[in-house]
C-alpha cells in the first residue's frame, strides 16, 4: 500500500514553526507600538510647551507696548489671571496666564514685567515664565 502524495512531501513549515514565528513578530510589534506611544507623548508635550512660550511672548509684548506709567503699578496688580484654550491637537489643553510685575530700580524708572503661563499635562503642572524690563528716561 502506498501513502498519499501529501504525506511524502516534507517541504514547508510545520504548525509549530509558524506559531513561533508569529509570537516573535507579535513581541516586536508590541514593542514598536509602545515606542510610537512614547514618541507621541513627547511630541505633544513639546507642542504644548511651544504654545505656552508663544502665549507668554504674546502677552509680554502686549504689556511692553503700553505706556510706561500704564504697564504696571508694583503696589497694586490690575491684571487678573485668565485662561486660554489650546490650538494643539483639538484644543484639550487650558493655559492660565498670569501677568505681574515689580519695581526693578529704587528710582522707579525701571519695571520688571513677568508673564507666567501654566498648564497641566497628565496630572503634572508645568509653567513657563517670561520676563522683561522696561525703562523710561529720567526727566
- Res 137: pLDDT: 82
Q: CA-based Rg of the chain, rounded to a whole angstrom?
A: 31
36 domain-assigned: yes
The count of domains in the chain is 1
What percent of the chain has pLDDT above 90? 46
* Residue scoring higher pLDDT (69 or 29): 29
Check residue 90 and report its DSSP letter.
T
How far apart are the C-alpha atoms of 46 and 43, rounded to whole Å?
A: 5
Mean pLDDT of 8-17: 79
State pLDDT tens for residues 104-115. 777 878 888 899
121 domain-assigned: yes
For residue 108, the enclosing domain spans: 14-135
- Res 129: pLDDT: 95
Mean pLDDT of 120-131: 93
Q: Which helix (H) or strand (E) holds 76?
A: none
69 domain-assigned: yes
Residue 14 clears pLDDT 70, i.e. is over it: yes
The answer to whether 101 touches 113, Cβ cutoff 8 Å, is yes
125 domain-assigned: yes
- Provide the grid cell at 129: 515664565
116 domain-assigned: yes
Cell 526727566, located at residue: 139
State pLDDT tens for residues 49-106. 999 999 999 999 988 888 777 666 655 566 788 988 887 777 788 999 999 888 777 7
* Of 138, 65, 60, the residue nearest 101 (C-alpha): 60
How far apart are the C-alpha atoms of 137 and 139, rounded to whole Å?
A: 6
Amino acid at each position: 500500500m502506498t501513502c498519499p502524495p501529501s504525506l511524502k512531501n516534507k517541504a514547508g513549515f510545520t504548525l509549530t514553526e509558524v506559531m513561533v514565528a508569529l509570537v516573535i513578530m507579535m513581541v516586536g510589534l508590541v514593542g514598536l507600538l509602545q515606542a510610537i506611544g512614547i514618541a507621541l507623548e513627547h511630541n505633544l508635550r513639546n507642542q504644548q510647551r511651544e504654545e505656552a512660550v508663544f502665549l507668554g511672548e504674546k502677552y509680554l509684548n502686549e504689556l511692553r507696548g503700553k505706556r510706561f506709567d500704564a504697564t504696571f503699578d508694583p503696589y497694586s496688580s490690575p491684571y487678573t489671571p485668565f485662561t486660554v484654550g489650546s490650538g494643539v491637537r483639538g484644543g484639550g489643553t487650558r493655559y492660565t496666564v498670569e501677568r505681574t510685575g515689580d519695581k526693578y530700580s529704587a528710582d522707579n524708572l525701571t519695571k520688571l514685567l513677568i508673564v507666567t503661563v501654566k498648564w497641566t499635562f497628565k496630572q503634572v503642572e508645568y509653567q513657563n515664565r517670561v520676563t522683561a524690563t522696561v525703562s523710561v528716561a529720567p526727566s
